[in-house]
């Protein structure tokens, strides 16, 4: 049942931007919060500029919030300059920690740790790389960050710059999809997705893995 206060609230839109490429991205290597924190590559910097131009042309973003990791902050700062906004950092948006799997490809992990990989793919409660972060823990902190943003920027459009696991998690939660759906979403480097959160507590995924703004870079 909707209350009067719920129906009077506006829609808050989170525009979800995966950071631009790093040297590890083209090789599809696991790059979480427990690794080397790589910077954007030259391609990644050009991608961030392209995102900034596109968002500035739309003129709807009113705030920029980023993961604390370098590749996300660099992407956010580049876009924010185009938007004339400051970057706010939220630690809950950092990437998952993949433990000893950091820097490896999926194929390398499957070859070296087949049973651990199978368990990780099967259960969000499994620990990656022996010391990494469970997807259940990522979901909790991503949801807390989402709730902070919705309270702080009610009725506005916010650019959220983060990483593939966190952004997939936010989309999964909006859809009410099972954890296994995390492995069934493609979120390319510097891609844009969007989730609208309505005053009645519902959420709508309005965009997924849009890379049209990168067409001139290909």
Q: Check 21, 49, 95, 116 and give the catalytic one.
A: 95
The DSSP call for residue 39 is: P
Q: Is 19 a catalytic site residue?
A: yes
Q: What are phi and psi of 152, to 5 degrees?
A: -75, -35
| C-alpha–C-alpha distance, residues 80 and 20, integer Å | 14
Tell me if residue 115 is catalytic: no
Distance CA 195, CA 206 (A): 6
**How many Cβ atoms from other residues are within 10 Å of residue 105's Cβ?**
14
CB 64 within 8 A of CB 76: yes
List of residues 6+ apart from 94 with CB closer than 8 A: 33, 67, 68, 69, 162, 163, 166
Gap between the Cα atoms of 123 and 136, Å rounded? 9
Of 47, 40, 87, 52, the residue nearest 68 (C-alpha): 87
Looking at residue 96, the DSSP 8-state letter turns out to be: P
Alpha-carbon span 30 to 104, nearest angstrom: 6
The residue annotated as part of the active site, out of 19, 113, 163, 213, is 19
Which residues are the active-site residues? 19, 95
């Amino acid at each position: 049942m909707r209350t009067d206060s719920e129906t009077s609230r506006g829609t808050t839109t989170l525009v979800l931007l995966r950071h631009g490429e790093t040297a590890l991205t083209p090789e599809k290597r696991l790059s979480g919060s427990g690794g080397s924190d790589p910077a954007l590559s030259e391609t990644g910097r050009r991608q961030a500029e392209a995102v900034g131009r596109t968002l500035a042309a739309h003129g709807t973003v009113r705030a920029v919030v980023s993961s604390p990791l370098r590749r996300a902050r660099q992407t956010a700062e580049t876009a924010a300059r185009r938007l004339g906004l400051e970057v706010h950092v939220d630690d809950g948006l950092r990437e998952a920690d993949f433990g000893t799997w950091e820097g490896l490809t999926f194929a390398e992990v499957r070859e070296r740790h087949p049973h651990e990989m199978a368990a990780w793919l099967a259960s969000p409660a499994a620990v990656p790389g022996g010391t990494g972060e469970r997807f259940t823990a990522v979901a909790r902190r991503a949801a807390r960050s989402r709730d902070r943003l919705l309270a702080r920027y009610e009725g506005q459009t916010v650019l959220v710059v983060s990483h593939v696991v966190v952004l997939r998690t936010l989309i999964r939660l909006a859809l009410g999809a099972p954890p296994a759906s995390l492995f069934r979403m493609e979120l390319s480097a510097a891609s844009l997705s969007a989730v609208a959160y309505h005053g009645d507590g519902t959420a709508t995924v309005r965009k997924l893995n849009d890379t049209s703004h990168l067409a001139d870079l290909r």
